[in-house]
Amino acid sequence: MEHHDYDFLEANPFADAVSSTSSSTRHRAPQESQEEREEQEEERKTPTPPPAVDTTELNDRLKDLDLDPTLQRSPEEYTSQAETLEIPQSGSRPYFKVTVQDPQKVGDTINAHIVYKVKTETNSPAFRSSETVVARRYRDFLWLYNQLTAGNPGVIVPPVPEKHALGRFQEEFVESRRIALERCLQKIVSHPMLYGDPDLKVFLESESFNTEKKRSQSLASPAAHAPLSASSTTTSSDTGGVSLMMRSFGESLFPNKFVETDEWFASKKNQLDGLESQLKGLLKSIEGVVRQRKELGMAVADFGESMIPLASAELNRNLSTHLTILSDVQKQMKELHNQQAHYDILTLEHTIDEYIRIIGSIRLAFNARIKAYQAFQQAEAELHKKQTSLERIKKKERQAAAQQEVNEANQRMIECQREFTDISKLIKSELDRFDKDKVEDFRDSVERFLCSMIEHQKQVITLWESYFEQTAGLVDEN
């Protein structure tokens, strides 16, 4: 992503001040020659190229794996991305580390919901403390997503997981949602245009969140919330914000009075449609694999259980012992299959599902561009109307007022045109960022998936070796 697209971040009220070292360098500048200053300026403008990727890295890591056969690693070791998503300590970008912890069910039977602890560590002077912990529920995360999307047209806002009415208190679902919410926040604070958003600050540190979010909504202009809906954001969070998002996606597909003439955007839209279809197919396949692993675990456990009566009835002691040990092995095998199914979800399934939702956010960004274009068209039509009225006015005393209206309409048209152009440039920059993140995220997910598969296979081998070790003596007695 090119750096100049975010040059206006210097005005960010939540950004750290530029270091004094840079200030002292500027004071020494007059002592340097004009040629030296031009060379230094050119070096600062030239972005540092990313390091080359070693294509043998994954093979070397897999070859050197010395995995613990007891499979003691917790899911957090696979899912916590707080360190990998740290914001670089450069320029005016502050450091953030955000985690979502300790989900707890609260409320009565009718109003029961899950509350999460959101812990934030930062060196930003905009925050009251370097470490804050607040309690947030799912609809608060959804509120944040809606606010960021409405207040930052053209930005691809990292999406929250979808709303589910059934099974939302099951332990596996709660943990899966916690991981997705944590990943969402970590990507938001690492985004150069979102980490300083006032609504994000309210979400991360406010102890009177419900009061402040209502005030934030009342201060926001209606135009700022145009990308979502005329409906209240709070209402959408309570009764189906995801449905609101989906309606917005649909509106972006069939906007009024808009025909895409930019080949780049038309091509990108087709690419995203194809990618979404491919990801949904891949997600369905992964879900099938997870389901089959769990079914296989149940099948081998049933197989082991069926051996117990046979072992009890067997008169040959050695054969009875063989069957008993084999039954125990099959029961342990079930746990291994269930663990591998869980790691499949933590690695590949989460990433695939996240990027399907990100494509939805991209469509909202496209929708913001369409609305900006429609506003430009409307302003242009209003300008023509004012110009026509001016031409028809014969009295000089009325011409001055009409000319003023024409000038104001022309200024509005210029501003709308500039906004449309800026949003278009921003979306292109955001899609470059999306493509880069997609490669890195999927590469990381595949690598972790392979590591978990290797560890699983080592567990299976160890389990069968233990069977032969326990039965070796019995064979010798025969």
303 in the same domain as 159:
no
Nearest residue to 203 (alpha-carbon basis) of 119, 268, 266, 278: 119
User: What CATH number does the domain containing 403 carry?
Assistant: 1.20.1270.60
Q: Is residue 309 part of a domain?
A: yes
Confidence of residue 164 (pLDDT cuts 50, 70, 90): confident
| Counted domains in the chain | 2
Least confident among 52-66, 77-91, 117-131, 369-383: 77-91
Q: Is residue 432 part of a domain?
A: yes
Q: pLDDT at residue 382 above 90?
A: yes
Q: pLDDT at residue 55 above 60?
A: no
DSSP-derived 3-state class of residue 207: coil
317 in the same domain as 195:
no
414 in the same domain as 305:
yes
Q: Is residue 282 part of a domain?
A: yes
Distance CA 115, CA 213 (A): 17
Burial class (CB within 10 angstroms; exposed 0-12, middle 13-18, buried 19+) of 217: middle
**Residues 218-270 pLDDT 10s:** 766 444 444 443 333 333 334 344 444 444 444 444 445 678 889 999 999 99
Please give the average per-residue pLDDT across 335-344, as a whole number.
92
Buried b (16+ CB within 10 A) or exposed e, 235-258: ebbeeebbebbeebbebbeebeee
Distance CA 437, CA 30 (A): 41
Q: Enumerate residues 6+ apart whose C-beta is below 8 A from 415.
A: 379
270 in the same domain as 167:
no
Distance CA 444, CA 437 (A): 10
Report percent pLDDT > 70 for the chain. 72
> For 463, left (φ over 0), alpha (ψ -120 to 50), or beta?
alpha
For residue 92, the model assigns a pLDDT of: 65
470 in the same domain as 372:
yes
User: What CATH number does the domain containing 131 carry?
Assistant: 3.30.1520.10
Nearest residue to 327 (alpha-carbon basis) of 314, 339, 338, 315: 314
**Residues 76-97 pLDDT 10s:** 443 443 333 343 444 567 899 9
Q: Is residue 140 part of a domain?
A: yes
